[in-house]
Structure 1
Amino acid sequence: MPTLLEFSDLNGWDDDDHDAALSVFVKTCDRMDGFEWPQLCGVAKNHTDGRAFFELFFKPVLIEDGAAPLFTGYFEPELNGSRTRSSRYRYPIYAKPDDFTVGAPYLSRREIANGALSGRGLEIVWVDDAVELFFLQVQGSGRVRLDDGTMTRVGYAGKNGHTYRSIGRELVRRGTYDAHQVSAEVIKNWVRRNPVEGQELLNHNPSFVFFRERQELHADLGPIGAMSRSITTMRSIAVDPVTTPLGAPVWIEKLGETPLNRLMVAQDTGSAIKGAQRADIFYGTGDAAGSEAGRIKDGGRMIVLLPIQLAYGLLEQVTG
């Protein structure tokens, strides 16, 4: 159910950096569909006052579907790697095999870990940590800092068609941890302390992701989001595109230990991001970003900024 608000209803609106939000909006607005969005995109590219732009052309709309609001965080992993295999760098990031068919079950994680793809020249790079590689697959993209001082990026190219199984839930099922104790860092540390059992735990999840190298991306830019453009640390969010248009500005009021009131842009999606009041905040690249993102599981509310015509049209559709 949509509710039209005023900008004065948005907590902290006066204190945000609206120009920063405008620059992020401009990065993807030319990829938006419809009649109103392309027109606004043209105006945005020649506008220098972010706050005036948003307040003049948009209306805040609170869209609710009955589900409790939830904000989480995500990040881009950064791994250590090498172009050649060694005793340190022995875990391969694989490119998509030529006999791979989208939607059809392929080799399982266990089979691949046991060498089913060895000798086929599919290794993009080799990394030094099996569990970091596992979480790279969970995130779907990342950077690899190579031993020659260069950097490369890898992005999602496909998965093997097996159902994802949570290894965190498996540790709880085994009685290793209680549910409230499990986090990405806890899992990583447990696998490193128990390398043999740890690999068996990773193999519990048969789903496996293949990658492709993204050399065209500058190392200083963010990973590619759902709109085929780089996303921006602490300004891009993943949303449910069924309820929130991709590319739309979204005002978030996140509660929790680190409250956040900020104008974001909906530039990404995620399989777990479902519902009108659900968003995943992009916290950046590397371990520090991952640590911060992993702690986020907060309530609050999110308000979509829609072009004025669309906002009133949405309200008319609902009220009849």
Structure 2
Amino acid sequence: MKKLLSLAALAMLAGCTTSNEPSSSVSLTPVGFDALAGWDREDFASLLPVLRQECHRLTQLPPETPLGGAETLPYGRQVGDWSGACAGLESAADAKSYLQTWFQPYEIDTKAFYTGYFEPQIEASLTREGPYQTPLYGRPADLVRAKATNGQMVTGRWENGQFKPYYDRAQIDGGALAGRGLEIAWLKSPVDLFFLQIQGSGRLILPDGSQIRAGYDGKNGQPYVPLGRVLVQDNELAPSAVSMESIRAWLEAHPDRMMAMMERNPNYVFFRKDTGSLAQGATGAFGVPLTAGRSVAIDRSIVPFATPLWVETKLPDAKGQPAPWQHLVFAQDIGTDIKGAGRADLFTGWGAFAQYVAGNLHENGRMVILLPRPPADSPTP
């Protein structure tokens, strides 16, 4: 999940920046498609459905709607900048030719860094019973956004006419929201909840074997503190050993310290029951279902939503070895800890292997952003 954007449009683009947020800049170098390592080996047939899904989403928004992106980008920061590319897509039969006609590659002049995220599968119950004692909360009605005196939008709650920060993780764990009927499900472990909140959405496996999706529905506005960083600072984990698996293992091995450690991250995420198809990923901040291996979370102050990105990096293979990975992905989501030029979080899907790849993906690489061309500048394929 800017400028002159109505509240309705803001709701349509969850996570949009506002006109009061500082703009960013990024250094770019135009390159040709022949400079993209592995471009000719891409599976172009799989790209047209993703591109058409994006253009369908873009046609639902007013042309002046900001998509984000650094102020130094030459094009592609507003929905209207996609008009030519989306019109050209209607008759496109070959994704490679289409992309080379309607997009211009620009290399981001900084080393890229890639991580991964996935959709966890978590045992849960719709009622509080047996081992299911950890509440999964829906968004509270008193969680609101307001404009501060400096013009920035802040998240909090009103109390006796005063705007205050919303309850932090420790307060919520201590019962600040109990008894308000906000529980949409019950989980077996607070560690499951913690990692579900990091991922932002997940699949709840109910006792009868059926599944429902818990989708992101806001956060408390408190700062996000990466637990891996805290464990390194406390000399509990070596920097080279930090992964989702090692953090979970530490928490489960220290039940007496588990809650206090997790509460050092005051950020708290709320959920809703998502009725979207389980055959696809959860809906990302751009408003389209995420596609495994094709969707990434980006910093919207640098990269606009919908933008294709050519990625050259390495992913862990089934044997745990980093293997070259060169593919086109799409900016369809955002993440609390995804900040800066060349930074992206790859959606790996769901299931055990998706979790393994996401948990072990920490690789540098190269990033090339493909910006749509103005209609008058589009060459003949």
Query: What is the TM-score with the length of structure 2 in the denominator?
Result: 0.75
2:284 corresponds to 1:258: no
Q: Tell me the distance in 2 between the aligned counterparts of 1:278 and 1:201.
A: 27
Q: Does 2:348 correspond to 1:283?
A: yes
What letter is aligned with 1:118?
A
Q: Distance in 2 between matches of 1:275 and 1:206?
A: 23
Match of residue 245, structure 1, among 296, 301, 304:
304
Tell me what 2:277 maps to.
218
Describe the shift of the 1:109–1:36 C-alpha distance in structure 2 as closer, same or farther (beyond 3 A): closer
Distance 1:255 1:149 in 2: 35
Higher share of residues assigned helix: 1
Structure 2 match to 1:228: 287
Matches of 2:172 and 2:301, distance apart in 1: 35
| Counterpart position of 2:107 | 62
Render the CA deviation track for 1:28-84: whole Å, top value 9, x for unaligned.
1244434441232133243221112112222222132xx432111111222111111
> Is the 2:125–2:186 contact (alpha carbons within 8 Å) kept by the matching residues of 1?
yes
Partner residue in 1 for 2:51: 25
Structure 2 equivalent of residue 84 of structure 1 = 127
- Name the CA distance, whole Å, in 2 between partners of 1:36 and 1:202: 43
Which of the residues 163, 171, 191 maps onto 1:131? 191
User: Quick check: 1:140–1:155 contact (8 Å CA) kept in 2?
Assistant: yes
Q: Are residues 1:117 and 2:177 paired?
A: yes
1:25 touches 1:248 (CA, 8 Å); kept in 2? no
Aligned partner letter, 1:235: R
Matched, 1:300 2:343: no
| Aligned residue among 211, 224, 230 for 1:151 | 211
Cα 1:271–1:50 shift into 2, 3 Å: same
**Equivalent residue number for residue 108 of structure 1:** 168
Task: Work out the CA distance in 2 between the residues paired with 1:155 and 1:52.
Answer: 36
CA distance, structure 1, for counterparts of residue 105 and residue 199 of structure 2: 31
Between the aligned partners of 2:296 and 2:254, the Cα distance in structure 1 is 35
* Identical-residue share of aligned pairs (%): 39
Aligned to 1:259, what secondary structure does the other structure show?
strand
Contact 1:59–1:311 (CA<8 Å) still a contact in 2? no
Is the 2:123–2:206 Cα contact (8 Å) retained in structure 1?
yes
Q: Which residue of 1 aligns with 2:73?
A: none
Aligned-partner Cα distance in 1 for 2:172–2:111 = 39
Aligned twin of 2:14: none
- Matched pairs, number: 310
What letter corresponds to residue 158 of structure 1 in structure 2? G
Query: What is the letter of the counterpart of residue 12 of structure 1?
Result: G
* Whole-angstrom CA distance in 2 between matches of 1:210 and 1:34: 29
Secondary structure, counterpart of 1:260 in structure 2: strand
- Going from structure 1 to structure 2, the CA distance change for 1:188 and 1:310 (only over 3 Å counts) comes to farther
Q: What is the CA deviation profile of residues 149-198 of structure 1, one whole-angstrom value per residue up to 9, with x for unaligned ones?
A: 22111222222232222322332233222222222111111222222211
CA RMSD of aligned residues (A): 2.2
Residues 107 and 274 of structure 1, relative CA distance in 2, 3 Å threshold: closer
- Any unmatched runs of 5+ in structure 1? 314-320
Secondary structure of 1:86's counterpart equals coil
TM-fit CA distance, 1:312: 7.4
Counterpart position of 1:316:
none
Q: Indicate the larger mover: 95-104 or 226-235.
A: 95-104
Which structure 2 segments of 5+ residues have no match?
A: 1-26, 59-77, 146-154, 157-164, 316-321
Of 28, 32, 39 in structure 2, the residue corresponding to residue 13 of structure 1 is: 39
SS at match of 1:261: strand
- TM-superposed CA distance for 1:310, in Å, is 8.3
| 8 Å CA contact retained: 2:123, 2:205 | yes
Tell me which of 83, 89, 111 is aligned to 1:44: 89
Deviation above 4 Å: which 4+ runs of structure 1?
Answer: 310-313
Cα distance in 1 between the residues matched to 2:235 and 2:173: 25
- Match of residue 190 from structure 1: 250
